[in-house]
């Protein structure tokens, strides 16, 4: 809204720059920011931005009154959430499903279905605890076939076996209604596949990811091994057309975390999808 009032925008910008320019000049030894130039550049964009400014909560309420389907998409993994993730190895915001209500301005009771997206194996970018991480040929296979590189940073992702305790925590935090399991095809050709069913830590068995990075770092995975499959799952669009062992793997995954698998992704194309239950139906 400040961009719609140039005089107020310049006044507020000057107030902010008083502090930050003092820090730049006296603490960091850097050149101060030219407030007039910043204001001119920002205000030049005002005409383009103005048509996109609206009362979003009101528009969403009107759409819901017309029974129009709405889809809110979150970014980053639930366990990177600033409050509920593996702190301090987290992002700077809330990325659990409940943040959709606060961020968009709708009541939480309006979120009728929460689709949890999870890979058929586990990945992590950057530092932080990772109980099921693999440093062997299987880990290399997952990273290579899965093209596991950060979409923004380009950093290689760390790869490991599926982690049920971590997913249980995510399902709990988000109130997940159903799962979409992606990259099933990356597991094609592995002679055996493993699922982490629990952790061992301090002489105890844990079924749920513990709170905080230090506690997670002390966890050792408890694995269940299953036979792999040699037939390709790439592009399969029907559940019954999957290799029998791939179906058993998915069924066991669902059983371990207590959530149904509503969608399975079998390739990068949007059509390479098995739809078992439609989120809007």
Would you give the distance in Å from CA 58 to the centre of its chain?
27
Lowest mean pLDDT among 41-55, 119-133, 141-155, 230-244: 141-155
Task: Indicate the number of domains in the chain.
Answer: 2
Look at residue 76 in the predicted model and tell me its pLDDT: 87
Distance of alpha carbon 24 from alpha carbon 33, whole angstroms: 8
> For residue 27, what are the contacts with CB-CB under 8 A and spacing of at least 6?
none
Q: What tokens does 139 get?
A: 């880990």
Distance of alpha carbon 35 from alpha carbon 41, whole angstroms: 10
- CATH number of 47's domain: 1.10.300.10
Look at residue 149 in the predicted model and tell me its pLDDT: 85
Q: Transcribe 65-123 into DSSP letters.
A: HTT--------S-GGG-TTTSSTTSS-SS--STTHHHHHHT--GGG----EEEEESSEE
CB 258 within 8 Å of CB 177: no
Do 202 and 72 fall within a single domain? yes
Do 45 and 88 fall within a single domain? no
Do 82 and 41 fall within a single domain? no
Do 22 and 72 fall within a single domain? no
Do 106 and 151 fall within a single domain? yes
pLDDT tens digits, 15-54? 999 999 999 999 999 999 999 999 999 999 998 998 899 9
Look at residue 169 in the predicted model and tell me its pLDDT: 97
Look at residue 121 in the predicted model and tell me its pLDDT: 98
Residue 12 has pLDDT above 80, yes or no: yes
- φ, ψ dihedrals at 263, nearest 5°: -140, 145
280 occurs within a structural domain: no
Residue 126 has pLDDT above 90, yes or no: no
Using alpha carbons, select from 267, 235, 229, 270 the residue that is nearest to residue 248.
229
Do 84 and 155 fall within a single domain? yes
Q: What's the whole-model pTM score?
A: 0.87
Do 7 and 109 fall within a single domain? no
b/e burial code for range 195-222 (CB count within 10 A of at least 16 → b): bbbbbebeeeebeebbeebebbeebebb
128 occurs within a structural domain: yes
pLDDT tens digits, 78-122? 999 999 999 999 999 999 999 999 999 999 999 999 999 999 999
Do 48 and 72 fall within a single domain? no
For the chain, the average pLDDT equals: 95
63 occurs within a structural domain: no
281 occurs within a structural domain: no
Look at residue 4 in the predicted model and tell me its pLDDT: 86
CB 60 within 8 Å of CB 104: yes
Q: What tokens does 244 get?
A: 């029998």
Look at residue 278 in the predicted model and tell me its pLDDT: 92
Choose the final residue of a domain: 11, 27, 52: 52
Look at residue 187 in the predicted model and tell me its pLDDT: 97
Q: What share of the chain is helix, strand, coil (3-state, %, to 5)?
A: 40, 20, 45
- CATH number of 245's domain: 3.90.170.10
Do 158 and 231 fall within a single domain? yes
Distance of alpha carbon 148 from alpha carbon 154, whole angstroms: 9
Residue 1 has pLDDT above 80, yes or no: no
61 occurs within a structural domain: no
Do 205 and 103 fall within a single domain? yes
Do 120 and 212 fall within a single domain? yes
Distance of alpha carbon 232 from alpha carbon 243, whole angstroms: 8
235 occurs within a structural domain: yes
Domain range for residue 93? 68-275
Q: Transcribe 176-235 into DSSP letters.
A: -SEEEEE-GGGGTT-SEEEEEEEEEETTEEESSPPSSHHHHHT-EEEEEEEE---S--TT
59 occurs within a structural domain: no
223 occurs within a structural domain: yes
Peptide bond into 249 cis (omega under 30): no
Residue 279 has pLDDT above 90, yes or no: no
Do 34 and 104 fall within a single domain? no
Distance of alpha carbon 199 from alpha carbon 46, whole angstroms: 53
Look at residue 153 in the predicted model and tell me its pLDDT: 74
């Amino acid at each position: 809204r400040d961009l719609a009032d140039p005089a107020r925008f310049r006044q507020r910008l000057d107030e902010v720059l008083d502090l930050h320019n003092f820090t730049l000049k006296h603490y960091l030894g850097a050149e101060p920011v030219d407030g007039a130039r910043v204001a001119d550049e920002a205000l030049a964009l005002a005409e383009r931005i103005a048509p996109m400014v609206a009362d979003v909560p009101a528009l969403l309420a009107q759409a819901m009154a017309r029974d129009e389907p709405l889809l809110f998409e979150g970014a980053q993994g639930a366990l990177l959430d600033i409050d509920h993730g593996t702190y301090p190895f987290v992002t700077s915001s809330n990325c659990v499903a409940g943040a959709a209500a606060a961020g968009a301005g709708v009541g939480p009771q309006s979120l009728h279905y929460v689709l949890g997206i999870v890979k058929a194996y586990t990945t992590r970018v950057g530092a932080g605890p990772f109980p099921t991480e693999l440093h062997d040929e299987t880990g290399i296979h997952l990273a290579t076939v899965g093209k596991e590189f950060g979409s923004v940073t380009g950093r290689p992702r760390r790869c490991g076996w599926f982690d049920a305790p971590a997913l249980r925590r995510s399902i709990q935090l988000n109130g997940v209604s159903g799962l979409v399991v992606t990259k099933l095809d990356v597991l094609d050709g592995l002679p055996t596949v493993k699922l982490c069913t629990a952790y061992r830590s301090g002489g105890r068995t844990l079924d749920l990811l513990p709170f905080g990075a230090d506690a997670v770092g002390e966890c050792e995975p408890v694995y269940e091994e299953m036979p792999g499959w040699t037939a390709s799952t790439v592009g399969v669009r029907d559940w019954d057309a999957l290799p029998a062992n791939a179906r058993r793997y998915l069924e066991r995954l669902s059983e371990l975390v207590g959530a149904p698998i509503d969608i399975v992704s079998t390739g990068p194309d949007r059509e390479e999808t098995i739809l078992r239950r439609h989120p809007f139906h």
